[in-house]
Amino acid sequence: MPELHDLTIHEAHDLLRTKKVSSVELTRAVLERIRKVEPRVRAFVTVTEEQALQDAHAADQRIVRGDIAPLTGIPMQLKDVLNTKDIRTTCSSKMLEDYVPVYDATVVTKLKTQSPVLLGKGNMDEFAMGSSTENSAFHPTHNPWDLTRVPGGSSGGSAAAVAAGEAFFSLGSDTGGSIRQPAALCGVTGIKPTYGRVSRYGLIAFASSLDQIGPLTKDVEDCAMVLSAIAGHDTNDSTSISNTVPDYRKSLTQDVRGLRLGVPKEYFGEGFEPGVEQAVHKAIDTFRHLGAQVEECSLPLTKYGLPVYYIIAPSECSANLARFDGVKYGHQYKGQGTMWDVMEMSRREGFGPEVRRRIMLGSYALSAGYYDAYYLKAMKVRTLIRQEFEEAFKRYDAIITPTTPSIAFKLGEKTADPVAMYKSDICTIPINIAGIPCISIPCGFSDGMPVGMQVMSKALGEETIFRVAHAYQQATDWHKRRATL
């Protein structure tokens, strides 16, 4: 039998339900794992050991009464961008180093109805801006498959924790790939749901028209279980969708016969590592063997995703982060000066270089004389990209691409060149611009490092995605490989 920390949620749930193991035992095993590997991985900003044991006792009492939900007693981590009442929530920023929320994010409230176990908060790129978790104001996170490499970002702490067996699942947020890119680089499964499927209330905002919360897990079945728990309409988020949430586990058939899968040629070729392409091509062959109709297609606007994103996201961030003025909450400059001096110094000290850079970039793109050339132009191209996907999904049930152009890069390799860092998200960004759902699942290895593949579908097509991704995982065992630590 594998060690407890290596189990999936559904495996652990079966042990809890049949009372072969208690939540306290499960939680102690994971806390022990954290003690053992966390000094090397550093996936957490805060470990809430006491809270975890309290939660586990409460879950066990519930289970004894015969009242067990899919996530009852399951130890989890939450990205530190999600507000947790009375538990420090930092966004991995000096600005919020001492911030203790007075309310829970809606996803946290929803999870709590099932009595999971909170292990702590996940490290991330500051304010979710970055692709390597090196922009954390506290410490970088290391890839469990090779500690000299990045875990990806911005939800790098979430992906690394799940890959290292430090949590059964984590919630991340995805604005331009921040769930899928680290999931791919750490060899785990992560979904960005349809924009509006999950409430953003209590998610510290980066770019509000793109942000979406989603789970990072060890396999597709776990992913379906967690998404079922957190999705749904919320009166506190006026952009949330009111459609009923299906039980996503019901979509986990193993049958993809007759499904039409498109493979866009723009996601291969120049700039893509051969090892990544080979793994994805092999996965595509697997789908053919499973009876899917696979066809090459073209999404010619793909290359415009990056510029559109780096206009829209910084523009929205410059407005969202205007609230951090060092007055009501957050870091405050301790020196002397007028109100303006103190505000300018508080923001300078509180924000790291990438956050300051993006605020300035966005403000410039929105400023008088440039609004039409940058922001308005980007919103118009956004329409074209959205329409291109809509057209494609008239022909295909799902589209398959690599998640990243390369395997995890070395720590420090791209920190000096923002544009090089931005380009690691070229496969994930167009999906946020279109607002459609997309999962990343492990599909092989290159140089000993995991490779990820994206499966995307039309808006609210999560069930199709889970069906396709689950069928693949039933035919392969990449998702069962664990990093040796």
Partner 1 sequence: MALSREDVKHVASLVRIAVTDAEVEVLQHQLSNTLEQFESLKELNTDAVQPTSHAVPLSSVMREDKSRDPMPKQDVLKNAPMIEGDFIRVRVVLEES
Number of other residues whose CB lies within 10 A of the CB of residue 285: 11
Q: Mark the segment that binds partner 1 (CB under 8 A) among 30-38, 127-135, 304-312, 441-449.
A: 304-312
Q: Mark the segment that binds partner 1 (CB under 8 A) among 9-17, 220-228, 399-407, 428-436.
A: 428-436
Residue 132 a catalytic site member? no
Alpha-carbon span 176 to 353, nearest angstrom:
19
- Cα angle, residue 203 at apex, residues 197 and 204 outer, rounded to 5°: 145
* Residue 381 binds to partner 1 (criterion: CB under 8 A): yes
Q: What is the three-class DSSP state of 46?
A: strand
Closest approach of Cβ 332 to partner 1, in Å? Answer: 4
* Residue 466 binds to partner 1 (criterion: CB under 8 A): no
Quick note: the x/- pattern for partner 1 over 178-197, rule CB under 8 A, is ----------------xxx-
SS3 string, 65-129, reads CCCCCCCCCCEEEEECCECECCECCCCCCHHHCCCCCCCCCHHHHHHHCCCCEEEEEECCCHHHC
* Residue 287 binds to partner 1 (criterion: CB under 8 A): no
Quick note: the x/- pattern for partner 1 over 192-221, rule CB under 8 A, is --xxx------------x------------
Residue 398 token pair: 């799902």
* Residue 476 binds to partner 1 (criterion: CB under 8 A): no
Q: Which of 22, 115, 136, 154 is catalytic?
A: 154
* Residue 272 binds to partner 1 (criterion: CB under 8 A): no
For 302-364, the DSSP string reads GGGHHHHHHHHHHHHHHHHGGG--SSSSS----S---HHHHHHHHHHHHS-HHHHHHHHHHHH
* Residue 239 binds to partner 1 (criterion: CB under 8 A): yes
169-179 burial, b at 16+ Cβ within 10 Å, e below that, comes to: bbbbbbbbbbb
Burial of 100 (0-12, 13-18, 19+ CB in 10 A): middle
* Residue 361 binds to partner 1 (criterion: CB under 8 A): yes
Alpha-carbon span 447 to 334, nearest angstrom:
49
By CB under 8 A, what part of segment 60-99 binds partner 1?
A: 98-99
Contact (Cβ atoms closer than 8 angstroms) between residue 455 and residue 114: no
Number of other residues whose CB lies within 10 A of the CB of residue 390: 13
Residue 154 a catalytic site member? yes
Closest approach of Cβ 320 to partner 1, in Å? Answer: 12
Which one of 19, 288, 327, 410 is in contact with partner 1 (CB under 8 A)?
Answer: 327
Contact (Cβ atoms closer than 8 angstroms) between residue 184 and residue 24: no
Q: Mark the segment that binds partner 1 (CB under 8 A) among 122-130, 237-245, 393-401, 445-453.
A: 237-245
Q: Which of 155, 178, 228, 440 is catalytic?
A: 178
Which one of 21, 329, 474, 475 is in contact with partner 1 (CB under 8 A)?
Answer: 329
* Residue 284 binds to partner 1 (criterion: CB under 8 A): no
Residues within the interface to partner 1 (CB under 8 A):
98-100, 102, 194-196, 209, 235, 238-239, 241, 301, 303-304, 306-308, 310-311, 318, 322, 325-332, 337-345, 347-348, 351, 356-357, 359-361, 363-364, 367, 374, 376-384, 386, 418-419, 422, 433-436, 459
Residues labelled catalytic: 79, 154, 178
